Amino acid sequence: MVEPDGIKALAFDVFGTVVDWRGSILRELEVFGAGRGIAADWASFVDEWRAAYKPMMDRVRRGELPWTDLDRLHAMTLDRLLGEFGIRGDLSAAEVGQLNTAWHRLAPWPDALPGLGRLKRRYVLSTLSNGNMALLVNMAKHAGLPWDCILSAELCRHYKPDPEVYRMACTLLGVAPHELMLVAAHNEDLAAARAEGLRTAFVARPAEYGPRQNRDLAAEHEFDVVARDFGDLADQLGCP
C-alpha cells in the first residue's frame, strides 16, 4: 500500500482507462451494419477512427486548426472513413450523427464501477479527459460513472498532454498539484502530469487497442502507483 498522505482528489483519464472504447464502438458498428445490411470490416473501421484521434488533436495543439472539440474531430474522421469504406452514400445525416455519438455510449471495464465506488468514499473523483463536456456527461449518465466532477480539455481549450490541462484541473478543484493524482493507462499522459507535479497512477489496460496492442503494456516511468485494475488501485490507496 502506498502512503496516500495528502491526496485529496483523483483525476481519471477516460478513454481506455475507464471505458473500453474499442469493444464498445465495434459492437455498435456491428449492430448498426447488421440492421442496415451494410457489410464492412468494422474492426478496421474502429481502429482507423481511433488512429486519427491523436493526429487530429495534434493539429489543434499545433494551431493548424482552431479549437475544435472532440465530437467535431470524431465527426470529421467519420466522414472521411465513411467515404473510404464506400458507405457514406448509404447513410442519412441523422444516421451519421447517431454513429458519431457512439463515443458517448462507451462501456466501462468490468472493474471500473466497483473500484470507483470504493475510491469515491475517500476521494473527490473527477474526469480529466480530452473528450468534450457533453460527451463525458452523457457517457457518465449512460454508464453510471459516479464522478464528483467532470473536467474536460475543452474547458481550457488545450488537449492533453499540454501542461495547461493539468494546471487547470488543480485550479478548478482547488488543490495543489501534489494533492491531485492522475489515473491513466497511458505513459505519455502520466509523464506530462508528473512533470506538472501531480501524483500518478498507472493502470494497465492491455486489451485497450485489441489483440495486437503493442503500447502502454507497462509503466515506463516512476509513477507513484502501478495497479492491475481499479480494484487493485483502491487496495493500494487503502480504500476498503
Residues near its own copies (CB under 8 A) = 71, 124, 126, 132-135, 137-138, 140-141, 148-150, 154-155, 172-175
The residue among 173 and 227 lying less far from its own copies, judged by its C-beta, is 173
The residue among 84 and 148 lying less far from its own copies, judged by its C-beta, is 148
Q: Closest Cα to residue 125, out of 107, 140, 135, 110?
A: 140
Q: For residue 87, give the C-alpha cell.
A: 458507405
CB of 131 to its own copies, least distance (A): 11
Which residues, 6+ apart, have CB-to-CB distance to 216 below 8 Å?
A: 185, 186, 187, 204, 205, 208
CB of 175 to its own copies, least distance (A): 8
The residue among 137 and 217 lying less far from its own copies, judged by its C-beta, is 137
The residue among 57 and 135 lying less far from its own copies, judged by its C-beta, is 135
- What's the angle, vertex CA 64, arms to CA 25 and CA 48, rounded to 5? 25
d(CA 209, CA 11): 22
Please answer whether residues 22 and 193 qualify as being in contact, where contact means their C-beta atoms are separated by less than 8 angstroms. no
State the DSSP H helix or E strand holding residue 32, giving kind and residue range, or none if neither.
helix 21-36
CB of 17 to its own copies, least distance (A): 20
CB of 134 to its own copies, least distance (A): 3
Rg (CA), the chain: 18
The residue among 22 and 131 lying less far from its own copies, judged by its C-beta, is 131
Q: For residue 114, give the C-alpha cell.
A: 466497483
CB of 219 to its own copies, least distance (A): 29
d(CA 218, CA 53): 22
The residue among 132 and 187 lying less far from its own copies, judged by its C-beta, is 132
CB of 7 to its own copies, least distance (A): 14
Distance between first and last Cα of the chain: 12
